[in-house]
Every structure is written in C-alpha cells, then in structure tokens.
Amino acid sequence: MCGRFAFFSPSEAVLRVFDVEDMPELKARYNIAPTTQGPVVREVEPGTRPLETMRWGLVPFWAKDEKIGNRMINARAETLGEKPAFRNAYKKHRCLVVASGFYEWRKTGNGKQPYFIARPDGDPIGMAGLWESWRPKGADEETEPLLTCTIVTKEANASIVDLHDRMPAILNPDDFATWLDPKKTDKEELHDLLDRAGKSVMTFHPISKAVNSPKNEGTDLIEPVA
C-alpha cells in the first residue's frame, strides 16, 4: 500500500518529467497524508496537462457521503475494473499523483521502522492514480465540486519487497500519455501498462518515527537515521 508520500521536487524537474502545461507555486510537503491535498497531473483537454492539487482519498461520484474517501486512498491494480468504487474512474478519470518519494514501514521487534523510498537519481515519480469529481446530493451545477484521487498499488518490485509486499504503480514516463488519455479504454492495454509499471530500481533508508504523525513536517523527516 501507500499511506504517506512527499513532494519537494524543483519546478524544473517536474516540467521535464511530466511535460505539464501549468506549474503553480506549490509549497514543499514532506508528510502528505490521506484526506490532505496532493499534487496531481491529469488531461483536462487533449494534449493539455495541468498540475493541480486534489484531496487524497477517492470519493466516487455516486457516493452519499464524502467520508467514504477516508478509506479509498489506494486502489489495487489487479481489481480496478471490478470494484464499483473505482470502475468509472479507471475507465474515464486516470491521473498521475506526483511525488518526490514515498514512505513504507517495516515490522521490527520494536514496532515498525519507517523508510523513505525514492528514485536513485532524485527525479520525481508519477504514481498511477484515479480521480473523481463529487458534489453532495441535491447540489446545483454552481456548487464547487470536490476533486479527489487515489493511488494505484501493485506487488512490490525486487528492490523494496523486503520492506512491504505492495508499492505504488510507478509509471514509466513513456507511458504517461497513454494512462492520461481518457480515450484509451482498452482494458488489455491498460493492464499491460500497469503490469510493466513499478519495475524501476528504488533506493530507501530508515528515517525518524516523527513521520508517523501527519502533524510533523520538514526536511528532517527524510534524513537517514542509524
């Protein structure tokens, strides 16, 4: 699974990796937690990729209560087309959740030790995601919709499987356009794309347990500890 991530990449790296049309000023975040805002790239119009923020925790368009999103932070790649909560978004609303790295916890004799996981070259990663637009029942079209997202996960690759058996589906930049294109609806093509996602080598190191509290922020959260 993926329950926490960070975003602190420079604008130049985000523009280069994601080819976004609009790069707003975003504050560096070292402890992005469920129900808070995180950076997302989606295709609003053909060939147009803005970077924006959405609340983490998908609220399906048909939901009666937005609180359902609290438990929809991850979506298993293996069952995207089957689960009612994700089926519509998988078909029409795919996105990239942008991160500089993410966190995972390894069980130890003294509880759980957190680790920070990132690319060896420091480039930002594009985690396969789904997004939805939701309005309360009875709301009119002038009501600002709530935009939410979830992170797609799959089996962990060889470089981090010792930490956890799941990881975000990190897409290859060459596959970004296919994943974001809402006209791409062939399930076999999308399945193949997710199948080859997340195979890049990742590096990790132990960090302070201060990351356990979403109230904590700052660069010290990603610093290695003994």
Q: Is the separation of the CB atoms in 24 and 40 below 8 Å?
A: no
Contact, 99 vs 5, CB < 8 A? yes
Catalytic machinery residues: 2, 104
Q: Which two tokens stand for residue 186?
A: 């062939």
C-beta neighbour count of 105 within 10 angstroms: 18
CA of residue 115 relative to chain centroid, distance? 17
Under 8 Å between Cβ of 182 and 44:
no
| Cα–Cα distances in angstroms (integers) from residue 209 to residues 104, 120, 221, in the given order | 11, 22, 8
Closest CA to 24 of 34, 11, 37, 5: 11
Task: Name the one residue in this structure whose structure tokens are 């995207």.
Answer: 80
Tell whether the torsion through CA atoms of 18, 81, 166 and 1 is positive or negative: positive
| CB contact at 8 A, 176 and 193 | no
What are the backbone dihedrals phi and psi of residue 158, each rounded to the nearest 5 degrees, phi first?
Answer: -60, -25
Q: Tokens for 164?
A: 């956890």
Residue 162 half-sphere exposure toward CB, CA atoms < 13 A:
9
